[in-house]
Amino acid sequence: MLKDAGCRYVIIGHSERRHIFGETDDDVNKKVKVVLKHGMIPIMCVGEKLEERDNGMTFEVLEKQLSRGLKDFQKDEVVRLIFAYEPVWAIGTGRTATPQQAQEAHKFIRDFIERTYTKEAAVKVRIQYGGSVKPDNISNLMSQEDIDGALVGGASLDVNSFTEIVKNAVL
């Protein structure tokens, strides 16, 4: 139905789906497979809650979400995905990961892809940042080596804010 409606990208594993509706890593895995099967591009979201970050568990959480979400995937499938790091503690809270925190998480994701698949796959995948992206923080986020784009939420609902994000992202 999504493909028939002209949809090209499908967000899977968004924090609201995981934490409000109980979507599991296994659910994410199945949905990503279906989206690929139907020729669309999955945007697979991963990220930790505040207590997980505060307890030093960020990389452990990301490792688990990536391992389970990508179970039984081959390199040629993985390079067709877009990943989105969305720290749950920074979504709709006005808090944003610092560029350094975001970079560390993005690098971890890229390194995971390299370890699990190949360096070529790690270079090819796109990793977006999503978590209170605003016009005043996008350029610092986009200046990080492993951040390839932004998954903009609430700020995309305001045309002026979104326009400024786009302008500032490409400067």
Q: Give the count of domains, the chain.
A: 1
pLDDT for residue 91 is more than 90: no
Which domain covers residue 145, as residue numbers?
A: 9-169
Alpha-carbon span 11 to 131, nearest angstrom: 14
Alpha-carbon span 81 to 121, nearest angstrom: 10
Residues sharing a CB contact under 8 Å with residue 3, sequence separation 6 or more, in sequence order: 38, 39, 40
- pLDDT in the model for residue 94: 66
2 found inside a domain: no
- pLDDT in the model for residue 96: 74
92 found inside a domain: yes
Strands 149-150 and 82-85, sheet pairing: unpaired
Q: What is the pLDDT of residues 97-113, one digit of tens each?
A: 899 999 999 999 999 99
At 171, the pLDDT band (50, 70, 90 cuts) reads: low
Active-site position among 19, 38, 52, 86? 86
Total residues belonging to the chain: 171
Find out whether 71 and 80 touch, Cβ atoms under 8 Å. no
Q: What is the pLDDT of residues 58-82, one digit of tens each?
A: 999 999 999 999 999 999 999 999 9
Spatial strand order in the sheet of 82-85: 9-12, 41-46, 82-85, 126-129, 149-150
- Is there a catalytic annotation at residue 86? yes
CATH number of the structural domain spanning residue 152: 3.20.20.70
Tokens encoding 63: 């490792």
65 found inside a domain: yes
Active-site position among 14, 23, 48, 106? 14
Overall pTM surpassing 0.85 (yes/no)? yes
4 found inside a domain: no
Q: Chain-wide mean pLDDT for the chain? A: 94
Q: What is the pLDDT of residues 44-61, one digit of tens each?
A: 999 999 899 999 999 999
Find out whether 45 and 15 touch, Cβ atoms under 8 Å. yes
1 found inside a domain: no
